Homo-oligomer: A and B are copies of this chain.
């Protein structure tokens, strides 16, 4: 397949523009594509069977050139500032790859971390990484940051390939119908969660406001982490990590 040996030095290049468009959430949704960045994430995706639509790499990036030529992935070589412009979130020099966003998964009868209104892409990425490490699925609802944003994928170090990502409407209905025990994480006065043989849906709310009303319905059991220190609350991703570990 095509490895163009000429080196792109202009950010106005057609291919580079295709990548840059995907920095915007709206364009990602419309085209159902996103970009992934950096050698670690790139190799996690490629090694797990994802074939990028197209790759931009620095002219001296032998590893990426080898991978693309071996796997017949279209590669554009570029100067450093062009690779940066194509990526946009990483300070190390590429590679940057354009990928199709895989089809959304649906709820199953297995442990699922449900992100509700998690605003920070770094937190969303970290929670995807944690869920994948413990074999949990990840669902997301409300104003949660785009799990396929380049920043989120970077924070997850590409763990997207090891878990199932499930978009959810607001409301506990679909979770209940999937046969999951619903646990709602609150800061104080919830139960201490115990490992269970039944699969659970663990709901984690926004960094600033916690869970919204609809997530605290009568069929949700509130759970909390006991904290002896003076601090009011934990970072949302830390709370999720502790609870997922405790329930696994």
Contact = CB atoms under 8 A, between A and B. Distances in A.
A181 to B, nearest CB: 19
Contacts of A46: none
A234 B133 contact: yes
Contact of A134 (B126, B133, B134, B227): B227
Q: How many monomers of this protein are in the complex? A: 2
Interface stretch (A4-12, A17-25, A96-104, A236-244): A236-244
Contact of A130 (B131, B133, B135, B235): B235
Contacts of A136: 229
A228 interface: yes
Given A135-B228, A163-B229, A228-B248, A130 B237 contact: no
Given A134-B227, A163-B229, A235-B126, A245 B248 contact: no
A216 interface: no
B122 A231 contact: no
A159 interface: yes
A156 to B, nearest CB: 9
A133, A161, A241: residue with the most chain B Cβ atoms closer than 10 Å:
A133
Given A235-B237, A242-B241, A245-B242, A229 B135 contact: yes
How many interface residues does chain A have, given as a range? 20 to 34
B134 A229 contact: yes
A140 to B, nearest CB: 18
B245 A225 contact: yes
Interface string A140-166: 000000000000000101010111000
A132 interface: yes
A234 B228 contact: no
B248 A130 contact: no
A235 B135 contact: no
Contacts of A234: 129-130, 133, 241
28 contacts: A126-B237, A129-B231, A129-B234, A129-B235, A130-B234, A130-B238, A132-B229, A132-B230, A133-B227, A133-B231, A133-B234, A135-B228, A135-B229, A136-B229, A157-B231, A159-B231, A161-B230, A162-B230, A162-B231, A225-B245, A228-B248, A234-B241, A235-B241, A237-B237, A238-B238, A241-B242, A242-B245, A245-B245
